Amino acid sequence: GVLPSNTCFRKMNFEYFDSFSHFLFTVKPFLNQEEYQRTEDIVKKFKNGIGKELHEKLLERAKSRRNWLEDWWLNVAYLDLRISTQIHCNIGGPSPCVEHCWPPKEGTQIERACINTWHTLKFWDLLRKEKVPVERSLDEVLDMNQFRMIFCTCKIPGVTRDSISHYFKTEAEGECPSHLVVLCRGRVFAFDAIHEGNMLTPPEIFRQLTHIQKTCHSEPDGPGLAALTSSERTKWAELREYLINLDPKNSTLLEKIQRSLFAICLDDSSPHATPENYTEVSRLTLGGDPTVRWGDKSYSSIFFSNGIFSAFCDHSPFDAMALISMSHYTEKNILENEGKWKGSNTVRDIPWPEELVFTVDQKIINEIGYAKEVYYKKVSDLQLVHYAFTSFGKALIKKQKFHPDTFVQLAIQLAYYKCHGRPGCCYETAMTRRFYHGRTETIRSCTMEAVEWCKSMLDPSESTYQRLQLMYQAFAKHNKMRSSCENGKGFDRHLLGLLLIAQEQGLPVPELYMDNAFTVSGGGGNFVLSTSLTGYTRFNGGAVPMVEHGYGFFYSIRDDRCALNSNN
């Protein structure tokens, strides 16, 4: 089941000198000899000087915490951001049910929403009972803490830093909120998923959602307050405070949304989707109607009018693999039941949904209009394709004795090199859940070995034999890096820790972090390629690129195909 917090996981460790030698390897592709020599001198000065003192202080911090990085990472990577996190940080992706029992079909939105919602509630119930199987990687158990953050969790905007409100509890821990919120045509509703101790069935959820839909379709649209969650964070924090001061009731309604299990978003769009092409639905998932997306909820289910649906999540409290595990569970159960409800059609006399009617004034109405205008302008700049590559997949790659993830990473490097004529600094997510409350480390995929291989592929004078030898070297390097990062021996989080210690001590930013090599190799959130393997299931989603001139590239690898979500 969900692991209790006192489970004995390894603490994240780091080898001081290894971090610097690994860092130097990864900056080489982006520097000439003179620049590299300068960076080498800066690194040497840092590691033999102030770096040692900072490292000692970092070790002190690690003594008093089971995970020295956890709070820092949450703040620096997510909660301190002032940009629109709904646009720039949220993750999302379509359900693959279009590939089997649920192809696009008008008139199925509510029917499918109630079945998917029921299976999602069953997963919540398993979490409450601590019966979700503990995940493993090879022979090691993985930390399951992130699963606690899927339900009853919401980000709260702050003027300088956001916070996370988290209300989920296991049955052993006590009571847990059990209501859902539904967003439809600019309005917000809520209803309880439990009635007299028993979970609502799909026919009962159908009754609730149909009531909401009929109400919204027969009356004028609501104000669309949810659009404010797409604003820049300080602006949204100030408007939220204004709302609460306008009427204390607004505070109660906001808390109702924050505490809810998750959000059901009824979207009037009807995106095209086939098993080979998810482009339109993926684009609308990340950049669709902001009045039916509460961007701060940790988990939302978006149901489009043609029965296609997507997950949409705030990235702050958890990483994509927790979401994919839950999505895989719901899809498996939908498929096993052929997309139908095979239980009783009896509908109990349950309370009708309650509408959450906020008190708004002209200022708020104007701000909602402005938020929508800014949002649509920003998302119109997003170019996205989401296709399935069906020539081959994991089965053939493994038959050739290659690691499927490394195969795709090298393909990304070659594609970038062919397009731009230079190496592309690349962030690949490595999962560090072997450690207590572990999240991620950075695999820097653009190695000298990868670059040499890319050059050989574009050099007509190179022999096939030479290209193969260089490719084997590039594979070996990437495989080794992945293993190091997953085992807590990466260096990006360590370097971040040293920088944050310096900032806490009120010291000037060390020269290492001001050096051009740090930035051009991707440091400080400057990776031109932001990439992640989303596993080996049918699920694939994505997020927007890390930098304006960059690309996001997210992929899942199945036996017979690779699903590729690329955007810029």
Residues identified as active-site: 315
Q: How many CA atoms lie within 13 A of 551 on its CB side?
A: 19
Cβ(129)–Cβ(170) under 8 Å? yes
Q: 137: exposed, middle or buried (C-beta count within 10 Å: 0-12, 13-18, 19+)?
A: exposed
Choose among 285, 153, 261: nearest CA to 200.
261
Question: For residues 191 and 209, what is the distance between their CA atoms, to the nearest angstrom?
Answer: 10
Reported as type and span, the H/E element at residue 43 is: helix 33-48
Q: Which residues contact 412 (CB under 8 A, 6 or more apart)?
A: 424, 426, 445, 529, 531, 553
- Cα–Cα dist 337/359, whole Å: 43
Distance set, CA 468 to CA 313, 474, 509, 527 (Å): 41, 10, 43, 28
Give the Cα separation of 329 and 240 in Å (integer): 36
Run of H or E including 469? helix 464-486
CA 502 to CA 61: how far, in whole Å? 13
What are the b/e assignments for 348-357, b being 16+ CB within 10 Å?
eebeebebbe
Distance CA 381, CA 315 (A): 21
221-238 as b/e: b if 16+ CB within 10 A: ebbbbbbbbbbbbebbbe
DSSP 350: P
Nearest 10 degrees: Cα torsion 327, 319, 275, 415: -170
Cite the DSSP H helix spans in 260-338. Answer: 279-287, 320-336
As a whole number of angstroms, the distance between CA 123 and CA 301 comes to: 14
Question: 81: number of CA atoms within 13 Å, CB side?
Answer: 22
Please compute, for residue 197, the number of CA atoms within 13 A of its CA located in the half-sphere on the CB side: 0
Three-state secondary structure call for residue 351: coil
Three-state SS for 33?
Answer: helix
Q: Residue 332 carries which side chain, given as an amino acid letter?
A: K
CA-nearest of 565, 568, 402, 432 to 494 is 432
How far apart, in whole angstroms, are the C-alpha atoms of residue 434 and residue 82?
Answer: 31
**426-431 and 384-389 as β-strands: parallel, antiparallel, unpaired?**
unpaired
CA 28 vs CA 122, 407, 556: distances in Å: 50, 22, 30
Residue 504 has a CB neighbour count (10 Å cut-off) of 12
